[in-house]
Amino acid sequence: MNKKKLQTGLIIVAIIFPLIFIGPSIFLMGNMNGESEILEEKNLKFLISGLVIMLSAICGLFIGLKKILNAIFEKESNE
C-alpha cells in the first residue's frame, strides 16, 4: 500500500466533503423565492454558483476516491 497516495486521496476527500452540503444549500437559495422569477439576476447567481460547487464536489470526490483505490490496490514493485 502506498501511504503517500492514500494520504493525498484522504486529504482531497476531506477538503471536498463540505462542498457536498454547501452546493445544494446555495442552489436551493436561488429556488426558494416563490414570489420572484427564477431567472432574476440574484437567483441566477445562486443557481449557477450552487451548480458549479456541486459539480466540483463530484469531480473532486471521484479524483480523491481514485487516488485512494489506487493506493490500496497498487501492486508493489521490487524496486
- Domain assignment present for 77: no
CB 72 within 8 A of CB 6: yes
Q: Cell digits for 62?
A: 471521484
Range of the domain at 65: 3-72
How many domains does the chain divide into? 1
pTM for this structure?
A: 0.77
pLDDT of residue 13: 94
Within-domain flag for 79: no
Rounded Cα–Cα distance for residues 75 and 79 (Å) = 12
CA distance 38 to 40: 6
Q: pLDDT of the chain along its 79 residues, tens only?
A: 788 989 999 999 999 999 999 999 998 888 776 665 656 677 888 889 999 999 999 999 999 999 999 999 887 754 4
